[in-house]
Chains A and B, each alone.
Chain A
Amino acid sequence: MADPMKIRAQMKGDVAEVRVLMAHAMETGQRKDNAGNLVPAHFIQQITVEVGGKLVIQGQTGTSVSRNPVFAFKVKGAKAGDKVVVNWVDNKGEKRTDEAAITA
């Protein structure tokens, strides 16, 4: 099981700012290990973000996203206390779901 995500969600005026840090190697499939063997690709492919029970962001990612990806989004119409649920799935079918509440 992958390490938990770090989710920070905070109201800035009437907009909720959501920052997510995902713990993932994001291997491109281009890199070689010390023995000279190609390291197989292993990367997050799909991301969803729900705020207050509504799906707000649906994302797809490729191999050029950096290791331990950080994403930031802004969501209107949310309020402090709303639940933010972030979910990712990688190319090996591994997945992780974490949640946090929006702070004022």
Chain B
Amino acid sequence: MDTIRRQLLKGAGATGALAAALAAGLLKPTQVLANEWNRAAFEAKESPAVLKALGAGSSSDSKDLLLKAPDIAENGAVVPVDVVSNIPNTISIAILVDKNPFPLSAAFDFASGAMPEMSVRLKLGQTSVVKAVAKTADGKYYTVQKEVKVTVGGCGG
């Protein structure tokens, strides 16, 4: 009886070590950067779930957060979106496209003199509301949104 128990324990120990080694190996590419990719937020399929994963469960609208995007995008594959936050102590901005399969498009943290504004080009699969979420140093979240009409979708590439 006792030998079987020993063997089981040994077996369990070996598998554990292997799993740890594998995990360490797999984690290597992301260790280059301090921040790990926020899988929960980027793989969420609905905007409310994204906001929750970002920690922005409760947020308020703000006129000091500016979102510039075209009213109508002829090509959904390349839609220029600019976000500027005039909210004091903005430390990060995230951009969401509500109707995309994975709404969260980009999330940027700003430090050491970087101004809280960014320009990106996004893909829109169809006409959708584009949302920007700004986070301040004291942990408050502010949002702004705008609908962009798409005549040709961006799913093709």
Inter-chain CB contacts under 8 Å: number: 129
Per-residue contact bits, chain A 33-54, to B (CB 8 Å; 1 contact, 0 not)? 0000000000001111101001
Q: CA A65 – CA B79 in complex, angstroms? A: 9
* Interface assignment of B33: CB less than 8 Å from any CB of chain A: yes
The reply to whether B114 and A70 form a contact with Cβ atoms under 8 Å apart is no
The reply to whether B115 and A15 form a contact with Cβ atoms under 8 Å apart is yes
Q: CA A6 – CA B126 in complex, angstroms? A: 30
Q: CA A45 – CA B78 in complex, angstroms? A: 18
Q: Is the interface of A mostly helix, strand, loop or mixed?
A: strand
Which of chain B's residues have a CB closer than 8 A to the CB of A104?
none
Query: Which residues A15-36 have CB closer than 8 A to chain B?
Result: 15, 26, 28, 30-31
Q: CA A93 – CA B108 in complex, angstroms? A: 20
Rounded to whole Å, the gap between the CB of A40 and the closest CB of chain B is 14
Do A73 and B113 contact each other (CB < 8 Å), given the known contacts A30-B101, A64-B122, A64-B123? no
B110 to chain A: closest residue by CB: A57
- The interface on chain A, measured as residues whose beta carbon lies within 8 A of the other chain's beta carbons, has a size of 39
Do A57 and B114 contact each other (CB < 8 Å), given the known contacts A65-B122, A66-B77, A66-B121? yes
Q: CA A89 – CA B29 in complex, angstroms? A: 8
Q: CA A73 – CA B109 in complex, angstroms? A: 11
* A-to-B contact residues, CB < 8 Å: 15, 26, 28, 30-31, 45-49, 51, 54-67, 69-78, 87, 89, 93, 95
